[in-house]
């Protein structure tokens, strides 16, 4: 019997297993996870810490899912090596698993910055339920916290801590928050909203050292200034979890390189999700787009290919949406034009009275990026225009109008099913 082994029991791994089972009831599927909990909605951990989501709504697939689909789930199994010659993986506890097909859906890990004192007690990353539970256990004695990094995860951590009545300072190295997904204008609107809700943000401040013993902590920044706090959260980005394949011949660039079938450089090894580097439509080259919908889609595509239904992965792009204390924000694809980007143009409208901001980035006659702050209702249509690389030359004047809607693009796209007759 064919054995399919999946490393990682989260968005990508699960959606892969589900897709395989749509067509293949007989192969054995084994999923390995180094976590001690069944699957959960990783993106909800900040909402859980904030108290917005209860524990039972955090859980993703119940045990019944695995038994119904005849999937064997093994928790507390950390794969440390993949031997592609023997088709075998080795785990930390010395156990081994053979496979005919391997799926690496090991996701991402929090980046630990090279700062003195970063390994001290009360310094946390913000990636897993375990991290959140540890932070939560300290909340009764936590009055102040410092978040290092102003990316989405750092800001979400700050939001959660603030909701639990902790005084929060966010130290951001660059001169704006969310520099990976927003431009300066959008970021300043978000920053204002965060500050109005009691989150302190310090731009252009890089942590130099985390000092203090026992329960007292402080963060020293490069200028020598010191901020006292009892808890530190690291929000310095994530990196693909590629450790277990490092000694193998599976090609790793930044993430594990997946081809148009999400197959790695070794034909019986597939990859999907935050660990996978594949075509980015907006950048026109390979990238890791570490977001939930991409993990689900890629997992599914890999699963279909494994079950013999050849499916080309059309490529992905970054897309993020978040609500910051009632301010909805969406960012799609490219968010700013870098100096060496040729042939890109930008259109934007800022409505000070409404507090809304919209921007699109165009290459030729195709949209390759967009930002929406305050008014996000039409953002899904832009997602589509980007995904399908629709020629928007006839739409240029309308794109940023409030009245812009699906009917404006319906003549330019192909629908499987007509709903207007």
Residues interacting with another protein, by CB under 8 A? 15, 41, 43-44, 47, 52-53, 57, 60, 292-293, 296-297, 300, 319, 321-323, 326, 328, 330, 332, 376-381, 383-384, 403, 405-408, 410, 416-421
Is 163 a binder of ligand FAD (CB under 6 A)?
Answer: no
Is 325 a binder of ligand FAD (CB under 6 A)?
Answer: no
Q: Pick the closest to residue 160 from 40, 51, 323, 41 (CA basis).
A: 51
CA–CA gap between residue 322 and residue 245 (Å, rounded): 33
Interface mask (CB under 6 A) for ligand FAD, residues 258-297, using x and -?
---------------xx---------------xxxx-x--
Distance of CA 329 to the CA centre of its chain: 16
Q: How far is the CB of 185 from another protein (least distance, A)?
A: 19
Q: Which does 378 bind (CB under 5 to 8 A by kind): another protein, ligand FAD, none?
A: another protein
Q: How far is the CB of 394 from another protein (least distance, A)?
A: 11
Q: Which does 60 bind (CB under 5 to 8 A by kind): another protein, ligand FAD, none?
A: another protein
CA–CA gap between residue 139 and residue 406 (Å, rounded): 46
Task: Please report which helix (H) or strand (E) contains residue 202, including its range.
Answer: strand 199-203
Q: How far is the CB of 243 from ligand FAD (least distance, A)?
A: 6
Q: How far is the CB of 128 from ligand FAD (least distance, A)?
A: 6
Pairing mode of beta strands 199-203, 256-257 = unpaired
Q: Pick the closest to residue 95 from 75, 115, 114 (CA basis).
A: 75
Residues in the chain: 421
Is 34 a binder of ligand FAD (CB under 6 A)?
Answer: yes
Contacts of 417 (CB under 8 A, 6+ apart): none
Q: Which two tokens stand for residue 52?
A: 């917005």
Q: Which two tokens stand for residue 87?
A: 């088709």
Which of 4, 103, 108, 256 touches ligand FAD (CB under 6 A)? 108
Contacts of 342 (CB under 8 A, 6+ apart): none
Binding site for ligand FAD (CB under 6 A): 7-13, 32-35, 42-43, 45-46, 77-79, 105-108, 126-127, 153, 156, 241, 244, 273-274, 290-293, 295
């Amino acid at each position: 019997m064919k054995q399919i082994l999946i490393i990682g029991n989260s968005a990508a791994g699960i959606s892969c297993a589900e897709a395989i089972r749509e067509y293949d009831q007989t192969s054995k599927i084994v999923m390995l996870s180094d976590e001690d909990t069944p699957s959960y909605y990783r993106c909800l951990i900040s909402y859980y810490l904030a108290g917005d989501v209860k524990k039972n709504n955090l859980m993703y697939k119940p045990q019944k899912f695995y038994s119904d689909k005849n999937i064997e789930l093994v928790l507390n199994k950390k794969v440390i090596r993949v031997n592609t010659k023997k088709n075998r993986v080795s785990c930390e506890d010395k156990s081994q698993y053979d496979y005919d097909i391997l799926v690496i859906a090991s996701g991402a890990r929090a980046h630990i910055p090279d700062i003195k004192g970063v390994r001290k007690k009360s310094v946390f990353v913000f990636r897993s339920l375990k991290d959140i539970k540890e932070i939560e256990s300290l909340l009764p004695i936590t009055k102040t916290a410092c978040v290092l990094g102003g990316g989405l995860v750092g800001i979400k951590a700050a939001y959660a801590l603030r909701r639990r009545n902790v005084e929060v300072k966010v130290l951001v190295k660059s001169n704006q928050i969310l520099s990976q997904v927003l431009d300066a204008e959008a970021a300043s609107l978000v920053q204002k909203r965060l500050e109005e809700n009691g989150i302190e943000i310090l731009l252009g401040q890089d942590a130099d050292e985390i000092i203090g013993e026992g329960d007292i902590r402080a963060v020293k920044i490069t200028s020598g200034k010191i901020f006292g706090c009892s808890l530190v959260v690291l929000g310095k980005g994530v990196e693909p979890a590629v450790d277990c394949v490092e000694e193998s011949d599976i090609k790793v660039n930044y993430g594990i390189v997946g081809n148009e079938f999400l197959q790695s450089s070794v034909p019986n090894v597939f990859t999907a999700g935050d660990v996978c580097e594949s075509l980015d439509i907006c950048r026109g080259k390979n990238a890791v787009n570490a977001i939930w919908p991409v993990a689900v889609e890629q997992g599914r595509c890999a699963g279909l290919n494994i079950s013999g239904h050849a499916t080309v992965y059309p490529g992905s792009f970054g897309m993020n949406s978040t609500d910051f204390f009632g301010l909805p924000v969406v960012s799609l694809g490219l968010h700013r034009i870098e100096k060496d980007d040729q042939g890109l143009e930008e259109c934007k409208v800022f409505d000070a009275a409404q507090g809304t901001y919209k921007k699109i980035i165009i290459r030729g006659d195709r949209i390759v990026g967009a930002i929406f702050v305050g008014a996000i209702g039409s953002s899904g249509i832009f997602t589509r225009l980007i995904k399908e690389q629709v020629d928007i030359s006839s739409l240029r004047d309308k794109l940023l109008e409030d009245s812009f809607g699906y009917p404006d693009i319906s003549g330019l796209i192909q629908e499987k099913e007509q709903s207007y007759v």
